Structure 1
Amino acid sequence: MTDSATPTGSAPEGADPEALRQRALAALLTARERTELLTDSVDDHELTAQHSPLMSPLVWDLAHIGNQEELWLLRAVAGREAMRPEIDGLYDAFEHPRATRPSLPLLAPAEARTYAAEVRGRALDVLDGAALDGGGPLVRSGFAFGMIAQHEQQHDETMLITHQLRSGTAVLTAPVPPAATDAAGLPAEALVPGGPFTMGTSTEPWALDNERPAHVRDVPDFFIDTTPVTCGAYQAFIEDGGYTERRWWEPGGWEMVREHELTAPLFWRRDAGRWLRRRFGVTEEVPANEPVLHVSWYEADAYARWAGRRLPTEAEWEKAARHDPASGRSRRYPWGDEDPSPELANLGQRHLRPAPAGAYPQGQSPCGARQLLGDVWEWTSSDFLPHPGFSPFPYREYSEVFFGPDHKVLRGGSFAVDPVACRGTFRNWDLPVRRQIFSGFRTARDI
């Protein structure tokens, strides 16, 4: 059993350098277009305001994106002198917690835009001359350029979360996602046969360190929900006293419920017998058939216990998403190895909401589960730990410092995730109390 073969568009080592260059260029340009949408849609006051102590001011993210691009593409790859060395500390995410960033002497919006644009112009020159078919590991296969495109898209998702948290009228719009035309006939759960499978990757050229290396895991038979848990199903948990019965909750979760008087997912409220939610400045009725969103790990775990089920482990989730019993190999994506398209998954901020449960039949995995990529990040039961044989690259602070029992793993991406930062091996992690993120879940059970 081996890691997936070279997928279409994955730009493996040894690929045509010009194809690698064009792939990296497209990823960088796509990320910057999204950054500009998220920052140009609000005025300078809203760019510099802190809309929640959980998040940075949008202008911090903007300059941080430019600073990281300078650090890695201009300094580390090209060996150039620092453009603005005096601001490195201001935009070091480990040096200043989010809650304190508004008090820093940050670049003003116009200056931040100019800085990011100047860095980008020089970075594209570096890309144009880089020998992507050789050199060190930062340059080989365009890794550093892919890493920076992923970094920017991850901050774009963070900025989209800030947009969700901000008060005021809507400034972002998007079309509704496709309907789930055959959802009524879907089985509630899918069987995933037991046995070994290949988890992680050693061949995906832009995979980040925590996705590596490929290794064999043996997972017993289990059932997993065909779709993410819906708002309607979650409402049944609420109506049955889910937030008032301690027996469903981990101790830390019950403490969170009591301290913050939680009664529903974040952004939900009860009005005249209906559940309403606020979504990017618009108040609307909670759609019963849409995957539930903005729930913490504690809430997902409590629901699963109430339902007589459990959250899947990370290995179970990845096997359900990638393993093809017919070939014995692990796919790059649930549907195969081809890159995501609008018919396969809800990604890239295309719709600003999850699609109805059961959508994207062409994107289902071999076991029959749907929407494993896109729509909502899915909490798993697993702590964030390294794969066997893990080696930090290119810096410890990306993954290694977060390993341990404090963080839970999320898999699959959300509607806010760009395809460049979403693979069957991609791993996300967060504290179990987090609710502002675009998180949902599906449940599993033993056979």
Structure 2
Amino acid sequence: MENVENSAFDMSIVKAYLDNIFSPLATNPQHSVDWQHICNLFKQVVPLLDENAIDEIIGATALHPVPEVRKRMIEVFTPQIDQFPSVQQLLIWCMRDTDEQVALHAIRACASSNSSVFWPELYALLGRDASRVQANQELATMGLREAAARQVLRDVYERGLLSDFEELDPYLAKGTGDNILILKHEVDATDMVYIEAGPFISGLPILYKGVSWFAVDDLFPESTIDLKAFYIDKDPVTNEDYDLFCDQIEENGHLWCHPDETPGKDHRRSTLGDVRVEKNHPVCGVDWYDAFAYASWQGKSLPTALQWEKAARGSNGYLYPWGNNYDSVHVNDADRVYNCEFKSLEALLEAQSSFSSEEPQHFTLSIDELSGNTSPYGVHGMIGNVWEWTRSNYLNNTDIIPHFRALEPAIAMEDWSSWVVVKGGAWSSKAELLLPAYRGRRHLLFRSPDVGFRCVYEA
């Protein structure tokens, strides 16, 4: 295949090529392959194929278990984005990929097309909120793929191609589901911190002016809330801890998984093999179902947003775990990771949306670093480094009740109850978001390199 002649290939050759290149890799996702070389070969082959052959390769790409394959093939097919509807459907599919880097590649590819077919899909990634496209100075916190989608839609909007977002805003269905079940076993609380019962100060004063770039919609007004006693992990779950859990899943099956989980789910984190994360770094690249299953394996659960906030702020409601004055020395944030001080929201969003396997050159830090990032209760690393999953529904702050078994992300996203509160900010966040009171949000099916978790135990 090194020298590609200028003639159309028949389907038998295409199928043979897929069998020789894709099938062996599908059975061994860790197989060492020069993906750039494969990508270059496909770039020569694809322009010579008819639509049936294109569809055949696209089908193999969309269902391939190796994220790097899906990512590289997006690059191959981008030049045909306005020629074949199947290419457009591949990009829409990949926008909702559980691997963040695949989704980012798909979103960037859409920027090369003026086709309106992508607009509703990009809009859905923003939670169907026009203000998240149009806002200049105030914008609620975004994940990496949300930032990329916002950049594409903003360009469409500023060029006058789309003026009315209502046409992209269909009715959002609400559903119901079964109660969450947890498989209990003996809990080891050695590395957990006891949070006593009683009141604590949640939220922020109405007149608080600390969040300048971002809307305050995700900050609840200050109030005093009474909680029952609970234990919380002293440190976030690490990559090493999580990988051990995945070994147990392979050995024992899905004993600890949520009943709503897609059958046969692969729990391996999307950051496995990324040299920028090490075994003692907080785990990232896991979705909500991954975090739930790990917590259940430990006989624990994910914290509510309020439990997490109390553990981070103490009973007196400190603004930050260490006190009321922000100190960048204690955190791993975007300025530290990108080695610059972001002066504008646009610069931050540009950096977030350009995340790749090469940039930034590092992101998470060890859980042993930044010792000053400790709450009044002695809980470590609660802001910066990674956002942390909770079990609270973003829509109403109640416990989430998933009911999305076997649904594609594109369908599940239409239901607002599929969005979950995340807390604490991450390596991709500015200081304005590194407030324990702040509520971020993530879709429960997405794996992002800036989201991890820790567990609680309610005796």
Calculate the TM-score normalised by the size of structure 1. 0.53
Describe the shift of the 1:100–1:307 C-alpha distance in structure 2 as closer, same or farther (beyond 3 A). Answer: closer
Q: Deviations over 1:37-70 (max 9, x none)?
A: xxxxxx9x999996942346348899xxxxxxxx
Q: How does 1:233-248 map to 2 (within 5 A)?
A: 233-241=241-249, 245-248=253-256
Alignment of 1:57 with 2:107, yes or no, is yes
- Displacement of 1:424 in angstroms is 1.5
Secondary structure class of the residue paired with 1:235: helix
Are positions 1:191 and 2:194 aligned together? yes
Against the structure 1 CA distance between its residues 407 and 285, is the aligned structure 2 distance closer, same or farther, given a 3 Å change threshold? Answer: closer
- How far 1:250 sits from its partner (Å)? 1.1
Residue 235 (structure 2) aligned to one of 227, 242, 255: 227
How has the CA–CA distance of structure 1 residues 315 and 99 changed in structure 2, closer, same or farther, with 3 Å as cutoff? closer
Task: List gaps (5 residues or longer) in structure 1.
Answer: 1-42, 63-86, 102-115, 120-143, 163-185, 269-276, 279-283, 389-400
Distance 1:349 1:365 in 2: 22
- Per-residue displacement from partner, 1:384-425 (whole Å, max 9, x unpaired)? 24479xxxxxxxxxxxx9995322211111111111233121
2:304 pairs with 1:313? yes
2:18 alignment counterpart = none
Q: Of residues 79, 82, 96 in structure 1, which corresponds to 2:120?
A: 96
Corresponding residue for residue 433 of structure 2: 421
In structure 2, give the amino acid aligned to 1:237. Answer: F
Query: Highest CA radius of gyration, 1 or 2?
Result: 2
| Contact 1:211-1:387 at 8 Å conserved across structures | no
Tell me how far apart the structure 2 counterparts of residues 334 and 47 of structure 1 sit (CA, whole Å).
49
Q: Name the structure 2 match of 1:299.
A: 290
Check whether the contact 2:95–2:107 (CA below 8 A) recurs between aligned residues: no
Secondary structure at the aligned position of 2:391 is classed as strand
The letter for the 1-side match of 2:234 is T
Distance in 1 (CA, whole Å) between partners of 2:434 and 2:79 is 27
Partner SS state of residue 417, structure 2: strand
Q: Output the TM-score relative to the length of structure 2.
A: 0.52
Distance 1:338 1:356, change over 3 A: same
- Counterpart residue number, 2:452: 440
Distance 2:453 2:305 in 1: 12
Which residue number corresponds to residue 422 of structure 2?
410
Q: Taking structure 1 as reference, are residues 359 and 385 closer, same or farther at Cα in structure 2, changes over 3 Å only?
A: same
Instruction: Name the % identity.
Output: 25
Indicate if the aligned counterparts of 2:239 and 2:279 stay in contact, CA closer than 8 A.
yes
Q: Cα gap change, 1:46/1:424 in structure 2, threshold over 3 Å: closer, same or farther?
A: farther
Shift in Å, 1:340:
3.7
1:286 is displaced (CA, Å) by 5.9
* Structure 1 position 316, deviation (Å): 0.3
**Mean alpha-carbon deviation: is it higher for 191-200 or for 241-250?**
241-250
Give the structure 2 partner of residue 106 of structure 1. none
CA distance in 2, matches of 1:232, 1:190: 21
Partner Cα separation in structure 1 for residue 251 and residue 331 of structure 2: 32
Q: What is the Cα deviation at residue 195 of structure 1?
A: 0.5
Measured against aligned partners, the alpha-carbon deviations of 1:331-385 in whole angstroms (never above 9, x if no partner) come to 11111121241x2111115233211113211121101111100111111111124
Alpha-carbon distance in structure 1 between the residues aligned to 2:452 and 2:248: 20
The yes-or-no answer on 1:346 pairing with 2:332 is yes
Structure 1 position 204 matched with structure 2 position 191: no
Match of residue 290 from structure 1: 281
Residue 376 (structure 2) pairs with residue 334 (structure 1):
no
Q: Deviations over 1:99-137 (max 9, x none)?
A: 999xxxxxxxxxxxxxx9xx9xxxxxxxxxxxxxxxxxx
Are the equivalent residues in 2 in contact too, given 1:242–1:248 (CA < 8 A)? no
CA pair 236-381 structure 1, distance change in 2 beyond 3 A: same
Q: Find the residue that maps to 2:201 and give its secondary structure.
A: strand
Larger strand fraction of residues: 1
In structure 2, what is the Cα distance between the partners aligned to 1:232 and 1:432? Answer: 22
- Contact kept? 1:246, 1:254, Cα under 8 Å: no
What residue ranges of structure 2 are gaps of 5+ in the alignment?
1-74, 82-90, 97-102, 126-132, 152-188, 338-361, 399-412
Check conservation: 1:291, 1:440, Cα contact below 8 A: yes
- Call closer, same or farther: CA 1:411–1:286 in 2, change over 3 Å: closer
Q: Tell me the distance in 1 between the aligned counterparts of 2:124 and 2:80.
A: 13
Distance 1:213 1:249, change over 3 A: same
- The answer as to whether partners of 1:322 and 1:424 remain within 8 angstroms in 2 is yes
